[in-house]
Each structure stands twice: as structure tokens, then as C-alpha cells.
Chain A
Amino acid sequence: MVASTVSWKETMNESFEMVVGLEVHVQLDTETKLFCACSNDGFGAVPNSRVCPVCTGQPGALPVLNKKAVELAFKAALALNGKLAHQSIFARKNYFYPDLPKAYQISQYDEPFCLGGEVPLRLKDGKTKIVPLARIHMEEDAGKLLHAVGSQALNHSLVDFNRGGVPLIEIVSKPEIFSSDEAYAYLTSLKEILQYARASSCDMEKGEMRCDANISLKPKGQTKLGTRAEIKNLNSFKNVKDALEYEFLRQSDILASGGKIIQETRLWNGKETVSMRSKEEAHDYRYFPDPDLVPIDLSPEWIAKLESEISELPQARRERFVSDYHLSPYEAEVLVADQTVSDYFIQVLKLPEAQNSAGLLAKLIMNIPDFSPIPAEQMASLIHLCAQKTITLNQAKELYPEIHQSKKDPKVLVKEKGLAQVLDEKILRDWVKEALAANPQAISDVKGGKKQAVGALVGAVMKLSKGKANPALVNKLIFEGIDKA
């Protein structure tokens, strides 16, 4: 990717602009599949152990819609500002493939449950943008095909239906994404919103969020769209960004040399996009309303109930973190990016010991590498110790892994380790005296106007105190000492 990144930047200055539409499939957080009572959590399970007559397409089996899946889909749509349809129906999308046991996928076609919607983007340069959605629809996932066992290629393919029938929503954006950075920001924001709406955990490792991208190029400043290519198999945000950048280069090279883009499906293999073997016949999915299912009728009361169940969304939470907790926009951004972290943050701040310590708590959480929470009560005590200046934030950070592991009360641990800060000015003055005596040069530097020379003196005091001296007090006492000297 190094070489192409260079030419990517060069090309950026040239005459084309990319026009991207994203189709994102997201797995809904239910217990069971969309149309049968099999467990939804087949990830890592024995092949074909989470299956039943319905999701393996047995003769005579019939689908029955999972109400929770419908509600989660509706909540996702509400969180994305989509317009919910009062009536929606399921359609059959007919095609033959071994991962599709009925030879049709139950999906939605001309009456999806949601039209429109929007995804707000926050770009690196601080700018914001709204990407409008075309639609959101519900559908069942296909099974999984294996072509190899480990690195050993098979001379046949194998089918596992554990994933078959898992509830998905497909979120289709309008083609109003104009750079790979925007695509990345779109996915980041979409994931955040869906997690906050509790619709999906969006765990990409488990394939709970998958993306296909349509990309075409147009000369800058023009509105007419070019021929698009569809890129499949994009299972991380970085893949999406890399693949779009690669595809931009590929298409712009073709266009610049007078060639034509063909409409086709391409596959991202981690390095480049490659054309998928063209299918013998054109797709004709023969959609028609599924006669085994009845329409979903959405009442205003039902919408109101679902709306009331959606908790605070990320944008609102970020704003609240700044206005109510006085965090910096950057801190709010980092904390809110992870829903479990921001929920935890709020939970800790509700405890008496942590009240009014939002700033300290934010700094501590952000400073701990690979943060994973300790019980909220313990976190509140730890923050209380910092707020009381018994320990420094730095000490709290260093103590954290031990609290996490030993589950000991932070107060007890601080006592055991003798970590409590020295706040006693009498003791501090003795250390300051000693430090000043040992560093006459630093004193004259400070007096001569080089205020930063005080750092060496503070360092000397901290050393004498084995790190327990309160830095702010030390600072104050050093200046007093220098004035007297």
C-alpha cells in the first residue's frame, strides 16, 4: 500500500473525484434468528449445530418473524433519522447458491421498513457533513461456504448453515460519499449510532458488520456519474478505505488513458480489487412478496414505545459531556466513541465519591492503555484519592492494573504501598531546602528569568520524596524558597 498511497495523493490533485455509495449489512443483536428459534450466536460453534428445518430450507417448513429483530431494526432506523413505513412486506429474492437453502433469500424489496435516514460525519479537519440514506431493509443472512480446511484447499466446497437466517439490516447510503476518508468517517459514525441504539454490537471480527462499496469516478466539478464498480468483501473500515483508494487509482488510470470502466463486481483481496468471474447469466432475482409471511403494520403507539426505549445517541452525549461535565471536545470524542466506556463513565460519576471529578476521571480513563473497567465503586474511590490529592493521577494510572487484577480496594492498596502523597508543608520545606542547597545554578537561572529551570528543582524534590511529594505544593514552596534565598 505504500507505493499506491504516494500515487493516490498525486492523483488527488488531478481531475477526478470519487463518488461512493455504501451498502452495509449489520447483524441485529437478538437471541435467535430472523425466522426461526435457532440461536443467533453460531460464531465458532460446531458446523450445522445451530440449525432447524426452517433455516435449512426443509420441505414444508415455514418462517415466523422474530419480533425483537423487527424492533431492533426499527430502533436502528429511528436512531438514523429514517422514515418508518406504516406497512412493510417481505419479498423473496430468488437465486440458486449453496449457501441459500431455500434458493431464495427473504428480504425486502419495494416496501422496505425504512426509507431515507442520515449518517452525520465528523471529519478529521473538524468539518461535519450529513450523508443521506436511500433505505434500510431487513433480510436474512446466508450460510457459510468453506473452500479449504486451514491452508489445505479442498476439491469440493462445504456448507454450514449456522449463520443462515441470522437477522440483518442492510443500510444503503445515497452515492454522496466523496473520499475514502469520508467513507471511513461514515462507517465510524454508523457503527457508533447502531451500538448506541442497542441494535447491533457491530463486531466486525465476528462478521456482524460487513460492507460493499459502489464506486464511480467523475471529473471534478461535474455532476454526471460514471460507470460504477461494486467492491465486495470489505470486512474492516481500513479495508474499505484501502480498497476505495486502490479502485480510484485503477479507474482513473483507465479513464486517463481513454479507456472505459465496465460495470462489474470486484473483490478486495487485501492488496487490490480483482474482477469476480462473471456469472453466466445476468441476475434476474424475480422478487415477489413472500406468501408465507404477512405484512408488518406499524402503529404510532409502537413507534412511540420504541422511541422511548432508545437511550442517548452519540452526538447528544458528546455535547452533554462538554456542557455538563466540562470535558474538552477531544475528551468527549474519545470517550463517546466507545459506548461501553461512555456508559461506564456516566455510571462512575453518579457515585458520591466521584461527583464533580469528571475531568479527572476522563483523564485517567484516557491515559490507561487498553482500558477495561473495574467495578464502578472502586473507580470512584480511586478518583476520590486523586481528587483529595492523596495520590497523583500518574500514580492512579500505575496502580490501575493491580486494582484490576487483585480487585483490592484502592484505599487499602494505597495504604499498603505507602503511596499517599506528602502534603505536609513542614516536611516538604525540608526537601526544598535540601534541593535548593544542592542546585545553586538553578536558583540563579530562575532569578535571571529562566523560569523553566525550576523543573530541575522540582525533579530534585520529587526524587528526595520518592515521588510522593505533591507537585503543585512543591512548585509553590520552591518559588518561596528562591525568593528568600
Chain B
Amino acid sequence: MEKSSSITEEDVRKIAALAKLSLTPEEISRYQSQFVKILDSIAQLSRLNVENVPPTSSVLGLKNAFREDQAVPFEKNHALIDNAPEKDGPFFKVPKIIE
């Protein structure tokens, strides 16, 4: 966690690539300096003793929320396609993918 303040613009670019966000050079430099501040402010967590403390995995400890295996068709599936910025008949359309 001590690494946080050494976050570089290259790190910011890598994170942006992972998050699929195109950023301008200005944004990269701004986020870099803000990241340093934000990460510093949350670095205090590294001083907290969390030995033998389980992570919270369900806020109120709920378990086994199930649904019965019964088909209920969604009648308005056209509404789902209608929102697509680009479509082709019943399909959503994306740029050609070469595998």
C-alpha cells in the first residue's frame, strides 16, 4: 500500500486501458496527481490490524436466495433491442471481430 503515492502516469494509462476509458493527456496527468492524494488518504487502512477478521461477504448475513426453475418469458424483448444504438434485425451490432 505504500506504493500508492508512487503511482505514475504510466500506471494511470494501464488502469484506463483495463477499464476501457480513453483519456486525454490532460486527464491522465490530472488523475495521476489526484490519485496520489486519494490513495494517500486511504493508505491509513494499511495501519489497521485486520488479523483474523473475516471480510464482509453479505451485508446482513443472508444466505441461499433462490428462484424456482420456472420459465417466465419477458414479453417486451423488442424494447431491449430498440435501445441499441446500432442493430441489424434482431441482432445487436458491433465492429467486426477477428478471432
A→B interface (CB under 8 Å):
30-32, 37-40, 46-53, 56, 58, 64-70, 87, 89, 96, 98, 145-147, 154-161, 267, 276-277, 280-281, 284, 286, 289, 293-297
Given known A-B contacts A66-B66, A284-B18, A39 and B73 have beta carbons under 8 A apart: yes
Residue of B nearest to A55 (CB): B74
- Say whether A69 contacts B69, CB under 8 Å: yes
Is there an interface contact between A294 and B90, defined as CB atoms closer than 8 Å? Answer: no
Q: Does B65 contact A (CB under 8 A)?
A: yes
Indicate whether A296 sits within 8 Å of B80 (C-beta atoms), given known contacts A154-B96, A157-B95.
no
Contact A297 B77 (CB under 8 A): no
B65 and A159 within 8 A (CB): no
Q: Decide if B22 is an interface residue (CB 8 Å cutoff).
A: no
Closest to B97 in A: A157
Quick one: given A37-B70, A284-B18, are A158 and B91 in contact (CB under 8 Å)?
yes
CB of B9, distance to nearest CB on chain A (Å): 17
Per-residue CB contact flags for chain B residues 80-99 toward chain A (1 = under 8 Å, else 0) read 11000000111111111111
> B47 an interface residue at 8 Å Cβ cutoff?
no
- Using Cβ atoms and an 8 Å threshold, which residues of chain A touch B93? 156-159
Given the contacts A32-B70, A64-B67, A160-B91, A53 and B97 also touching, CB distance less than 8 Å = no
Of B92, B97, B98, chain A has the most CB atoms within 10 Å of the CB of: B92
Indicate if the CB atoms of B90 and A47 lie closer than 8 Å.
yes
Contact status of A98 and B98, CB under 8 A, knowing A39-B73, A64-B67, A67-B67: no
Which residues of A lie under 8 Å from residue B72 when comparing CB positions?
37
Which partner residue on chain A sits nearest B93 by CB separation? A156
Contacts of A281 in B (CB 8 A): 14, 17-18
Contact B65 A294 (CB under 8 A): yes
What 3 A-B pairs have minimum CB-CB distances, sorted nearest first? A52-B74, A68-B69, A158-B91
Contact A37 B99 (CB under 8 A): no
Q: Are B57 and A49 interface neighbours, CB within 8 A?
A: no
A52-B74, A98-B94 given as contacts; is B69 within 8 A of A66 (CB)? yes
| Of the residues B66, B80, B96, contact of A64 by C-beta under 8 Å | B66
B55 (CB) vs chain A CBs: closest residue? A289
Contact of A49 with B77 in the complex, beta carbons under 8 Å: yes
Is the C-beta of B3 less than 8 angstroms from some C-beta in chain A?
no
Q: Is the CB of A157 within 8 A of B18?
A: no
Residues of B at the A interface (CB closer than 8 Å) are: 14, 17-18, 20, 57-58, 62-74, 77, 80-81, 88-99
Whether the pair B70, A158 counts as a contact (CB closer than 8 A) is no
Other-chain contact of A67, B63, B66, B71, B99 (Cβ < 8 Å): B66
A50 to B77, CA, bound (A): 8
B90 touches A48 (CB 8 A): yes
Q: Is A294's CB under 8 angstroms from B58's CB?
A: yes
- Say which residue of A65, A154, A267 sits within 8 Å of B66 (CB atoms): A65
CB distance from B87 to the nearest CB of A (A): 9
Contact between chains at A98 and B97 (CB < 8 Å): yes
Whether the pair A145, B97 counts as a contact (CB closer than 8 A) is yes
CA distance A154 to B91 in the complex (A): 13
Cα A293 to Cα B57 in complex, Å, equals: 10
A-B contact pairs, 6 of them (CB 8 A): A47-B90, A64-B65, A145-B97, A156-B95, A158-B93, A160-B91
Is the pair A293, B65 in contact by a Cβ cutoff of 8 Å?
yes
B99 and A267 form a contact (CB under 8 A): yes
Other A-B contacts than A67-B69, A297-B64, 4 sampled, CB-CB below 8 A, are A31-B71, A47-B89, A48-B80, A98-B94
Identity of the chain B residue whose Cβ is nearest the Cβ of A153 in the assembled complex: B96
Minimum distance in angstroms from B30 CB to a CB of chain A: 23
Whether B66 and A157, one on each chain, are in contact in the complex, defined by CB atoms closer than 8 angstroms, is: no
| Shortest Cβ gap from A343 to chain B (Å) | 23
Question: When A37-B71, A64-B67, A98-B97 are in contact, do A51 and B80 touch as well, CB less than 8 Å?
Answer: yes
What are the residues of chain B within 8 A of A289 when measuring CB–CB?
Answer: 57
Residues of B within 8 A of A157 (CB): 93-97
Contact status A52-B66, CB under 8 Å: no
Bound CA span A234–B70, Å:
32
